[in-house]
Each structure stands twice: as C-alpha cells, then as structure tokens.
C-alpha cells in the first residue's frame, strides 16, 4: 500500500468507527477487546509531492534541557549504542489526555473530530527524554549500513514500567531479511526519502518504515518507541493542554507541514515547536508509537492511568501527529490514528524515547 492511500480507508471509516482506543492501563491492559479498525480523527489525505531539501536543522534546542548523547544500555550492547542524537527532557506528571468538550483543546467549530479522542481523562507519565526531531535519513543510514544487525534480545526496547512492552521474537517476521530487502522496503513510494547512497534528503525524516523496523532502530540506539501517553504529553505541552503543539493558533505553513505541503527537512518550522522544544510533532510525517490502537480505550477503562500503554493485542499500531500529505485537521495533539504494523507508508516515520535517570 502506498503512502497516504492505505490510510484513506481509515479516514473514510473514521466518521463511524473512529476512535477511541489506545492507551493502556498501567502495566497491564484492562479487560475488553480492542476495536480492530484503524481510526483517524477527521479530514482526508492529500497527495503532496516531495519538495527540495533545505539546510540542516539549527543546533539550538529551545527546550528545558537538551543534550547529544549515546543511546545508553537499553539496546543490550548493539553497535549503535553510542549513536548520538539530540533529545529533550519531557517532565513527568499528571495531565488531561484526550480531547475535552469545552476546554482549550475542544474540537474547533470548523472541524469534525473523532469520538475516540474522548473522554478527556487524567494520565500520569514519568519523566522521559524524546528525540527533538523525527529520525532523519542521515541518522537512519548508520542503521542501514550495519543491517541486518544481531537479533534483538527478547524484551529489548521495553518501557521499564510497562510489562510486556519489549521486543518479541514474533516481530522479526516483518523485518526485511537483508540490506537489499531493506532498501526495497525504504523505497515504498515516489515520496520515499531514503537513498542507498548519500543524497539530497539527508535532513528529511526517514519514511517507509514499518513499526517493527522503527522499534528495532530505537532499541538499537538504546531507546524505545514512546507510548501514546508520552507522545501526547509532549505534543499537548502536558498540563498546558494545548490544541496544537505550539498553542491555540490555527495551523499555517510556518508551524507545520500539511496538505498540500511537500515533505522536507526536519526542524524547518520553528513557529510550530512544542512546549518542551520538540519540532514537527504536528505535520511532516505520522509517528509510530508503542501502543496497539484500541478504539474503545478511553471510554471503556482507559481513564486515569500511570505509565501505561496498550500492549496486549490488536491489529493496528497507533500513529500520531499528522503528515505533509494530510489535511490540517490531523495536526491537533489529541488526534489518534493507526496503521497495520507491517505497512510502509511515505507519510509515516518515527522518533525515539529514552528513559530518565530520575
């Protein structure tokens, strides 16, 4: 399935089945079956074309704390453990996850918002670190050049407070078997950003990456995929409860890349930066999260949890943030969608989370 096209079904079904599912319940999932539908929150995908590469992102962070550091020991000793990246701290705490009916993050009058974004409910996450930028082609290249890496250990890349959140051997079935197969995997569409040789798109987000491949990359660099709760805390500014990562102002080209924008370099829209200093949490590419999408989660037991994620079962993994080929309705911090974990889309990429020493 190509780029935005495979997600179109989600948008079409959205008005009826949408949404609610996701998050977890503390370290285990509540009783109840997840909705098998991939749900997006309103809008429709476009067909944006790839644009010209720009300058690399600026070095200044704008966050509370920023550093370039190695991956730590979360990967279990892979060759990429010391791979540097700029990451920013997201303070832990309680915040209202999901969309409210009448608060700052309520559905704008001109938009149609999915029921799965509600009810708003209190969620707590521990302090963590999150990549300032989506993983770029340049950063992914080191992983590509070493591919295939040694098989990840069972449980690698786990959230330390969520049982069952680590790598499972079954995930490997959806990994490319060789570097040649990976190159094919990464060329899923005309808008694919990766090239086998260094090219003009090195500062663009890597796309055409399946969920297991994104998981494997994050584990290999000593990190993990963020939970939906962590991702939304960063995007909504925690207890600021922002409508968009930058605040309440309507989206425009200075804040986010959305239809009919073209894909381009990360960090190019400083006006869209979030409370903690992260770039492109709205637009650019959708971002994989750890959770299975459960479209009944918020309304059926997902209210009030601490360091949780939906990890038991499902058919679609949750994606967040909207993309360059999707309309502005997808840019709100509470918007949730999902995709088949084995799918590769030009509109989907990822960033990694890292555990705090606190």
**Which pLDDT value is given to residue 82?**
58
Q: What is the pLDDT along the chain (358 residues), one digit of tens a residue?
A: 333 333 333 332 332 222 222 222 233 343 333 343 333 433 333 333 333 333 333 333 344 455 554 444 333 445 676 566 799 999 999 999 999 999 999 999 989 999 999 999 999 999 999 999 999 999 999 999 999 999 999 999 999 999 999 999 999 999 999 999 999 999 999 999 999 999 999 999 999 999 999 999 999 999 999 999 999 999 999 999 999 999 999 999 999 999 999 999 999 999 999 999 999 999 999 999 999 998 788 887 665 678 989 998 899 999 999 999 999 999 999 999 999 999 999 999 999 999 987 5
**Which pLDDT value is given to residue 308?**
86
User: How many Cβ atoms are within 10 Å of 174's Cβ, its own excluded?
Assistant: 17
User: How many Cβ atoms are within 10 Å of 109's Cβ, its own excluded?
Assistant: 5
CA distance 189 to 170: 27
CA distance 7 to 41: 11
- Residue 144, token pair as written in the block: 């590509």
321: nearest Cα among 275, 276, 272: 272
Domains of the chain: 1-358 (3.90.1580.10)
CA distance 310 to 39: 15
Sheet with 353-355: list strands edge to edge: 66-69, 85-90, 128-131, 353-355
Cα separations (Å) of 78 from 82, 150, 303? 9, 8, 37
**Which pLDDT value is given to residue 83?**
63
CA distance 355 to 162: 12
- Please state the pTM of the whole predicted model: 0.84
Find where tokens 């078997």 sit: 177
Find where tokens 């069972």 sit: 154
**Which pLDDT value is given to residue 217?**
97
**Which pLDDT value is given to residue 84?**
64
- Residue 103, token pair as written in the block: 């608060």
CA distance 40 to 335: 7
- Residue 259, token pair as written in the block: 């239809």
Cα separations (Å) of 270 from 57, 235, 282? 10, 14, 12
**Which pLDDT value is given to residue 8?**
34
The vertex-14 CA angle with 188 and 256, nearest 5°, equals 60
User: Judging by DSSP bridges, how do beta strands 348-349 and 286-292 pair with one another?
Assistant: parallel
123, β-bridge pairs: 95, 305
End-to-end CA distance of the chain: 42
Q: Determine contact, residues 285/319, Cβ cutoff 8 Å.
A: no
* Ramachandran class of 93: left when φ > 0, alpha when ψ lies in -120 to 50, beta otherwise: left
**Which pLDDT value is given to residue 85?**
78
List of residues 6+ apart from 279 with CB closer than 8 A:
57, 132, 133, 266, 267, 269, 270, 272, 273
List of residues 6+ apart from 86 with CB closer than 8 A:
61, 66, 67, 68, 131, 132, 133
Find where tokens 């285990």 sit: 28
CA distance 17 to 8: 14
């Amino acid at each position: 399935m190509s780029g935005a096209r495979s997600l179109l079904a989600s948008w079409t079904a959205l008005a009826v089945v949408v949404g609610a599912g996701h998050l977890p319940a503390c370290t285990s999932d509540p009783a109840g079956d997840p909705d098998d539908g991939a749900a997006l929150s309103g809008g429709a995908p476009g067909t944006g074309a790839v644009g010209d590469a720009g300058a690399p992102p600026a070095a200044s962070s704008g966050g509370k704390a920023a550093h370039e550091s190695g991956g730590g020991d979360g990967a279990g000793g892979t060759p990429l453990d010391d791979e540097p990246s700029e990451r920013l701290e997201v303070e832990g705490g309680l915040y209202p996850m999901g969309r409210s009916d009448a608060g700052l993050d309520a559905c704008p009058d001109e938009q149609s918002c999915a029921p799965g974004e509600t009810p708003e409910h209190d969620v707590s996450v521990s302090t963590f670190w999150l990549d300032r930028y989506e993983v770029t082609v340049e950063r992914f290249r080191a992983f590509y050049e070493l591919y295939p890496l040694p098989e990840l250990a069972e449980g690698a890349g786990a959230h330390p407070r969520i049982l069952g959140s680590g790598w499972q051997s079954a995930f490997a079935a959806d990994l490319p078997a060789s570097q040649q197969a990976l190159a094919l995997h990464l060329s899923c569409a005309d808008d694919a950003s990766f090239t086998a040789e260094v090219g003009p798109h090195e500062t663009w987000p890597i796309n055409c990456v399946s969920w297991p491949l994104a998981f494997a990359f994050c584990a290999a660099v000593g990190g993990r995929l963020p939970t939906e709760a962590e991702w939304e805390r960063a995007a909504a500014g925690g207890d600021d409860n922002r409508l968009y990562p930058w605040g309440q102002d309507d989206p425009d080209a200075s804040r986010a890349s959305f239809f009919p924008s073209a894909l381009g370099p990360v960090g190019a829209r400083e006006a869209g930066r979030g409370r903690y200093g992260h770039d492109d949490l709205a637009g650019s590419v959708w971002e994989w999260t750890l959770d299975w999408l459960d479209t009944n989660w918020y309304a059926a037991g997902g209210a009030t949890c601490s360091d949780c994620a939906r990890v038991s079962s499902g058919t679609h993994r949750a994606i967040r943030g909207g993309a360059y080929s999707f309309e502005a309705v997808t840019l709100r911090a509470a918007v949730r969608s999902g995709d088949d974990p084995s799918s590769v889309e030009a509109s989907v990429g990822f960033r990694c989370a890292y555990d705090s020493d606190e």
